[in-house]
Amino acid sequence: MSARNNVAPSTIGVDLVDGGVVVEYHDGREVFYHGPPEPVEDAVTTPPGKEVHVLVTDPDGVEGVMTYVNDRNTHDDILESTGVGRVMLDRNDEEELFPGVTVATEAYSIRVEADPSVVDGRVFVFAEDEMSEHAYELVEEAD
């Protein structure tokens, strides 16, 4: 089985805490994403070459779905056991992850867009590698 298939996400636990976001996987592990996430209006383009994870929560921020974008390291079985999904995009590709949330390739970066009028919850984007971590929350455009 290839480690590069699309995998549908399942609902997982989320805890919004001071200094970041805790994601609770189905297998009992927890991952802490450092923050607090930087508010960004409507869309964010991640720095090139980062691992990109998109989390869409319910309005209360206690559960949600997490999707890895173009993850080539995690085997399908591991994703399925954790509840995390994956979407693989080709060059100049775009896909809707969740109603109102799309991801697209942009050179070596990933662009994540959210339409807050459609999304009934919160949208977080995490972009990281061995050198740095970036956390964003897509928010409605201020008037």
Tokens read off for 50: 């980062």
Reading the chain (143 residues) residue by residue, the pLDDT tens digits are: 444 789 999 999 999 999 999 999 999 999 999 988 999 998 999 999 899 999 999 999 899 999 999 998 888 888 999 999 999 998 889 999 999 999 999 888 999 999 988 999 999 999 999 899 999 999 988 76
pLDDT for residue 104: 97
CA distance 29 to 26: 7
pTM of the predicted model, to two decimals? 0.93
The pLDDT score that the predictor gives to residue 143 is 66
* Domains detected in the chain: 10-137 (2.60.40)
